[in-house]
Amino acid sequence: MKTPILETERLILREMTREDYPALAAILQDAETMHAYEHAFSDEETRAWLERQLRRYQEDGFGLWAVVLRETGRMIGQCGITLQALDGNMAPEIGYHFNRQFWHRGYAIESAAACKRHAFTTLGFDEVHSIIRDTNLASINVAIRNGMLARRWFVKNYRGVDMTHIVFSAGKQRLD
């Protein structure tokens, strides 16, 4: 297994590899999991997503990492930090997607909180964000539980659909 980036009580976060494709596809190609995107990803979109993460590790030193159950070694999701365009700048965003079989068990908040600490203590960011579609109540709740506050709304056009998003953010002083 690749070297862990972060560890929590129940989870290990590590860089994804091409061998993680089947676990990633189980997440991104599930229509219910990807409801905020309005579509399940194709094989081509899933491969491009994985390749983008691999490039981010090389170029930025971080990205969306594989979330692995400590007790089984199974990849159950992805969570991490990516640079996203926000207000004309590139800003660090904490994002996450989990296999639907593992929803409602606290894995998203556990991994997102670890990523927030890592963003401040290791990567040196002063502020982090989560940009969430306004209909994605589960992710909104994770952001709130992660000490983030809703700052503003904007509309993003994705695949021809106007989608309202909420920008949540937390500053370095909000490590709780």
C-alpha–C-alpha distance, residues 58 and 174, integer Å:
29
Indicate whether 150 belongs to any domain: no
CA atoms within 13 A on the CB side of 139: 23
Owning domain of residue 62: 4-125
**What pTM did the predictor assign?**
0.92
- 89 assigned to some structural domain: yes
Type of residue numbered 157: N
Domain assignment present for residue 137? The answer is: no
User: How many domains, the chain?
Assistant: 1
Instruction: Report the CATH number that the domain containing residue 72 is assigned in CATH.
Output: 3.40.630.30
Q: What confidence tens digit (pLDDT) does each residue in 108-163 have?
A: 999 999 999 999 999 999 999 999 999 999 999 999 999 999 999 988 887 788 88
Asked whether residue 121 is domain-assigned, the answer is yes
Residue-level pLDDT at 76: 98
pLDDT in tens, 9-25: 999 999 999 999 999 99
pLDDT value of position 12: 98
What was the pLDDT predicted at 1?
A: 61
Is the pLDDT reported for residue 37 higher than 80? no
Residue 149 falls within a domain, yes or no? no
pLDDT at residue 38 greater than cutoff 50? yes
Of 176, 35, 152, 164, the closest CA to residue 97 belongs to 35
Q: Give a yes or no: residue 98 inside a domain.
A: yes
| 46-92 confidence digits (pLDDT tens) | 999 999 999 999 999 999 999 999 999 999 999 999 999 998 899 99
